[in-house]
Structure 1
Amino acid sequence: MIAIYNTHLNDVLMLITGDNQGEKLTATRKDNVAKVMREDNGQVVAWNFFDASTLFPITGNGQVDLSDADVDTLNGAIKVAGFEDVLVPDHAPKFVVGEITSLVPHPDSDHLNIAQVKIAEDKTVQIVAGAPNARVGLKTIVALPGAMMPSGALIFAGQLRGEPSFGMMASPRELALPNAPQKRGIIELAGSEVPGTAFDPVKHWQK
């Protein structure tokens, strides 16, 4: 669940809860709450809360962090508006240290590879990537589904050339790190980094 607040949207808090995959959307608004769904299958992909600052204090523009109390307040607004849906808080980090444990060429591409990436002691995900410096044993930063990149791009699970991909391995430039090189390539971390550790720009980038 990605929360975005922008004063240019006239005090609207938008929650992105799913991937519309380019499909047409429809919305139902009741009072100050709008439920946004895909037309093809009815999947809820977003919520809009109008006059959001009347619900709880919101500071800044762009992506915002919601506390459990904030989510409870939003669920209250959803219920009062007459919807039966319930939002579930998600505080798991979306940018974490990952370790490439396997790397094979993509069968339908001359520049992509299929990587198995360890993102926790007991969890490995598949990521399709074209980074020229990707290699087995490399520790890097992984943007998991539900992440919002500094550019505003949203990360969802999907497919690249027919192969499932659950996130992306990020470059210093994509992470908007200072003095990031402009050449292609994912960020390279020290071998001592532990998969699953939340990304810390100060710790993981010292150039």
Structure 2
Amino acid sequence: MNVFYNKEGIGDVLIISLKDIPYEQKRFERKGDVVKIFDAETNETAGFNIFQATSYFSLDGNGQLDVTAEMVEKINQTIAQNGFSDKLEADLSPKFVVGHVLEKEKHPNADKLSVCKVDVGDEVLQIVCGAPNVAAGQKVVVAKVGAVMPSGMVIKEAELRGISSSGMICSAKELNLPNAPKEKGILVLEDSRKPGEPFFK
């Protein structure tokens, strides 16, 4: 679940995004201040827009908002109050975590890509990486599936040149860190960092 708010850009609307669906398959149902977006083919819920958002929520930020258990509860209350029976759940685990590169192999179909096995604490992910400096043994920053990058890009399951990739090994520039180097390359962390621990405290 990703939640966005930008009063200056689009007005007093809270946008809740659950999954991407093609625009031509999107259908909308409105009850009160809430619009439900769903897939016309599968009937899966893709998200909600809550209008007059500040009459339901205390909102003091712009862009992507931190999703908390309290926010999810309040969203569910608002949806129910406006006549929908949906109940949302959110994965509140950190999406930017420390990873340990266990293996790095050359991508079989692309000269400049590597296929990495990365320990992120509770699982080992396969991630295709294009950075020239990635190597086995490094501690790195992994954006897991569902992470929203500072650029606004949402990290999804992907297939790159025929190889599946679950996440992204990040550079300092991609993380919008101050004094990020201009040259290409992932951010390599101190070896004392533990796989799975949140990168952003």
TM over 0.5: yes
- Partners in 1 of 2:13 and 2:197 — Cα distance? 33
Give the superposition deviation at 1:119: 0.4
Aligned equivalent of 1:164:
164
When residues 160 and 22 of structure 1 are mapped into structure 2, their CA distance, relative to the original with a 3 A threshold, is farther
Residue identity in the other structure for 1:186: I
Give the superposition deviation at 1:22: 7.1
Residue identity in the other structure for 2:133: N
Aligned equivalent of 2:130:
130
Give the superposition deviation at 1:68: 2.1
- Partners in 2 of 1:177 and 1:67 — Cα distance? 24
Aligned equivalent of 2:113:
112
Contact conserved, 1:32 with 1:81, CA < 8 A, in 2? yes
When residues 53 and 23 of structure 1 are mapped into structure 2, their CA distance, relative to the original with a 3 A threshold, is same
Contact conserved, 2:3 with 2:15, CA < 8 A, in 1? yes
Give the gaps of 5 or more residues in structure 2.
Answer: none
SS of 1:70 mapped into structure 2: helix
Aligned equivalent of 1:75:
76
Residue identity in the other structure for 1:193: R
Cα RMSD of the aligned pairs, angstroms, is: 1.8
Give the superposition deviation at 1:21: 6.4
* Equivalence map 1:11-160=2 (5 Å): 11-20=12-21, 24-120=25-121, 122-160=122-160
SS of 2:126 mapped into structure 1: strand
Give the superposition deviation at 1:40: 4.2
- Partners in 2 of 1:169 and 1:163 — Cα distance? 16
When residues 59 and 176 of structure 1 are mapped into structure 2, their CA distance, relative to the original with a 3 A threshold, is same
Contact conserved, 2:2 with 2:67, CA < 8 A, in 1? no
- Partners in 2 of 1:116 and 1:2 — Cα distance? 27
CA deviation profile, 1:1-50 (whole Å, cap 9, x unmatched): 11111012111111111233676422222211112223443332222111
Residue identity in the other structure for 1:119: V
Give the superposition deviation at 1:56: 1.7
When residues 163 and 40 of structure 1 are mapped into structure 2, their CA distance, relative to the original with a 3 A threshold, is farther
Give the superposition deviation at 1:134: 0.8
- Partners in 2 of 1:139 and 1:27 — Cα distance? 44
Contact conserved, 1:112 with 1:129, CA < 8 A, in 2? yes
Give the gaps of 5 or more residues in structure 1.
Answer: 202-207
Give the superposition deviation at 1:108: 1.8
Aligned length: 200
Residue identity in the other structure for 1:166: S
Aligned equivalent of 1:186:
186
Residue identity in the other structure for 2:199: F
Give the superposition deviation at 1:174: 0.4
Residue identity in the other structure for 2:125: V
Aligned equivalent of 1:204:
none
When residues 5 and 127 of structure 1 are mapped into structure 2, their CA distance, relative to the original with a 3 A threshold, is same
Give the superposition deviation at 1:80: 2.9
TM-score relative to the length of structure 2: 0.91
- Partners in 2 of 1:162 and 1:29 — Cα distance? 40
TM-score relative to the length of structure 1: 0.89
**47-56 or 18-27: bigger deviation:** 18-27
SS of 1:147 mapped into structure 2: coil
